[in-house]
Structures are given as C-alpha cells and as structure tokens.
C-alpha cells in the first residue's frame, strides 16, 4: 500500500539559512502558526545525520512576565519539532501522528529574539510508535535550555485515491 502525506506543511529550502528548510504550516489559523517561522535540517555543524535540528525564532508574543520564553511556548515548540523531525529523518507521514507523552525538564531561561534549536533523536522505533529524546539549545555555545523525551504514535497509513474502496 502506498502511503501519501497530505501537504499540511511546506518545506522548501530557506535562502536566508543555507542548508536549512522552511517548516511552515499551510493553515495560518492552526496552533503551530503561533510559534512563527521554523527551519529544519538533518545534522550539520559537526552533528550526526541521525539528529534532526529544528529552529524557531522567539519574539515578544512568546514571552512570560519575566521577559523570557514562556514554558508553554517551549513545550509547544518541542511538540511541533517532533513532527518536523519525522520529515527531516524521513520516518513517514507526520500529519496525523499523535503525541502520546512529552516529558520536559526546563534547565535554563530561553532568551527572546535569539533562535532556539530543538535537537531530536530517535531512541527507538517500532511498527506503531516512535520514542524520541532531545535537547533545546540556544546561542553559539548551544546552552542547554531544556531536555525532553517523547512517545509519538505514528500516523495510520493513508491510502491513495486509486486504493480507496470507491475506486475498486
């Protein structure tokens, strides 16, 4: 059975960040759009190709009362990064996958107006589940802002139009 992924996202090369790709939701009214533009890549800068790297650019609307990135923004970013990582690491369709568990440990206060990078690694993959782990880092020295583990239930296979019961 051929799997198809509905085009919920665009992922074209980013001309401002060579080697990176846009990760943008096509529907501007979905939650993911609140996080703003994101870019993604596989490995690079001395990192292994089994690491997906997703960046967001925190702005004023992402802050808490202490003028640092709100924890909810950070968790939302991590959650979205899991699905971008599925695309980067070529795991399969991510649009209908579901986060079952996300454990986050906040380690530092992330700064506004400085890119945040989620580094996502597959700890294990089974037929229906992904076990992921990673860090959120910031700055040239990749200061650790958070660590996390997650379980994602993969999307059920989507049938092509030629495989649907009505076409047989």
- At 34 the three-state DSSP class reads helix
Residue ranges in the chain modelled with pLDDT below 50? 1-4, 163-168
d(CA 84, CA 9): 9
- Read off the pTM: 0.86
CATH code given to domain 9-160: 3.10.129.10
Where on the phi/psi map is residue 74: left (φ > 0), alpha (ψ -120 to 50), or beta? Answer: alpha
For the stretch 50-89, pLDDT in tens is 999 999 999 999 999 999 999 999 999 999 999 999 989 9
DSSP 163: G
Task: Give the model's pLDDT for residue 156.
Answer: 79
Residue spans of the domains in the chain: they are 9-160
């Amino acid at each position: 059975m051929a799997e198809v992924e509905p085009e919920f996202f665009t992922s074209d090369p980013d001309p401002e960040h060579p080697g990176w790709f846009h990760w943008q939701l096509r529907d501007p009214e979905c939650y993911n759009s609140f996080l703003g533009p994101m870019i993604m890549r596989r490995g690079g800068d001395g990192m292994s190709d089994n690491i997906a790297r997703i960046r967001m650019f925190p702005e004023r609307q992402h802050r808490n009362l202490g003028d640092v990135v709100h924890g909810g923004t950070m968790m939302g970013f991590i959650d979205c990064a899991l699905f971008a990582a599925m695309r980067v690491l070529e795991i399969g369709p991510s649009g209908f996958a579901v986060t079952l568990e996300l454990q986050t440990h906040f380690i530092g206060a992330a700064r506004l107006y400085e890119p945040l990078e989620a580094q996502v690694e597959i700890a294990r993959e089974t037929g229906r589940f992904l076990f992921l782990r990673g860090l959120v880092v910031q700055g040239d020295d990749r200061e650790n802002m958070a660590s996390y583990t997650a379980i994602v239930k993969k999307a059920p296979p989507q049938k092509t139009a030629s495989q649907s019961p009505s076409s047989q």
